[in-house]
């Protein structure tokens, strides 16, 4: 299979560090993604060791204290159409089934979701930010850089997972990292050596067949 078919979101990692040089190489490759007018939107803050633990602690304290979620952008349609809601639920159920968490086990599901804020215990966490004054097209360009990073990580034998949920506590992240006010927290990325035996890394979400999302005109 190609790296496009092999890549998956990794949510369990081995207790092995990832060296600075390797993270720098992945980020350099990510920046090679297409960029309209070469604006190169997005900043990547790579954390490990004590700075990483401090951020995780700040997030844990915020959640424990019941601090409300404050996301500065809408990730999902509001309201969510029924067909997309069904797809979202199917993906969630597949994840929980792989972990042996019953869909009625709300505490278990919450505990699993909260692992987003620990970056799934990966050795490296990356916080992705972008200037607030960038237009919507720059979000598309940042998405291409993120995908390039994820593919490069897989190609290097590492595992990674995008963490959109990090934006739920963008204010906490901004405070902990002392980010400038002109930056918005977009997402996080967990990075490390994948635990290939972990059940959570065994499941895969399905993708639509070509005829569902693509249309061809003028081809013989």
Q: Which helix (H) or strand (E) holds 125?
A: strand 124-131
In degrees, rounded to 5, the angle at the alpha carbon of residue 205 between the alpha carbons of residues 77 and 118 is 75
Band (99; pLDDT cuts 50, 70, 90) = confident
Band (213; pLDDT cuts 50, 70, 90) = very high
pLDDT of residue 78: 87
Band (96; pLDDT cuts 50, 70, 90) = confident
How large a percentage of the chain has pLDDT more than 70? 100
The residue among 196 and 75 whose pLDDT is bigger is: 196
Band (64; pLDDT cuts 50, 70, 90) = very high
Residue 132 CB neighbour total at 10 angstroms: 11
Do 175 and 27 form a contact (C-beta atoms < 8 A)?
no
Ranges of each domain in the chain: 13-75+119-203
Span 141-157, pLDDT tens digits: 999 999 999 999 999 99
Which residue carries 């007018």 as its tokens?
A: 37
> What integer is the mean pLDDT of 77-91?
90
Q: How far apart are CA 107 and CA 216, in angstroms?
A: 46
End-to-end CA distance of the chain: 28
CATH class of the domain comprising 13-75+119-203: alpha beta
**Positive or negative, the Cα torsion across 140, 142, 143, 149?**
positive
pLDDT of residue 104: 86
Convert 92-102 to b/e letters by CB count within 10 Å (16 or more is b).
beebbebbebe
pLDDT of residue 203: 86
> What integer is the mean pLDDT of 94-103?
86
**Positive or negative, the Cα torsion across 81, 84, 90, 91?**
negative
Calculate the average pLDDT of the chain: 95
218: left (phi over 0), alpha (psi -120 to 50) or beta: left
pLDDT of residue 74: 85
Instruction: Provide the whole-model pTM.
Output: 0.94
């Amino acid at each position: 299979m190609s790296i496009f078919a092999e890549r998956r979101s990794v949510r369990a990692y081995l207790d092995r560090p990832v060296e600075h040089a390797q993270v720098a190489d992945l980020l350099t490759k990510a920046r090679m993604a297409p960029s309209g007018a070469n604006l190169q939107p997005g900043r990547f803050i790579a954390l490990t060791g004590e700075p990483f633990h401090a951020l995780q602690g700040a997030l844990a304290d915020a959640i424990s204290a019941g601090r409300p979620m404050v996301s500065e952008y809408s990730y999902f349609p509001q309201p969510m159409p029924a067909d997309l809601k069904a797809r979202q639920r199917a993906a969630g159920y597949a994840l929980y089934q792989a972990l042996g968490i019953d869909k009625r086990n709300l505490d278990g599901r919450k505990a699993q979701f909260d692992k987003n804020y620990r970056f799934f215990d990966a050795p490296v966490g990356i916080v992705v930010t972008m200037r607030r004054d960038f237009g919507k097209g720059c979000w598309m360009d940042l998405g291409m850089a993120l995908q390039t990073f994820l593919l490069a990580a897989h190609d290097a034998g590492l595992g990674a997972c995008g963490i959109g949920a990090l934006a739920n506590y963008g204010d906490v992240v901004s405070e902990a990292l002392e980010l400038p006010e002109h930056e918005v927290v977009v997402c996080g990325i967990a990075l490390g050596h994948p635990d290939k035996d972990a059940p959570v890394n065994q499941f895969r979400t399905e993708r639509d067949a070509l005829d569902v999302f693509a249309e061809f005109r003028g081809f013989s």
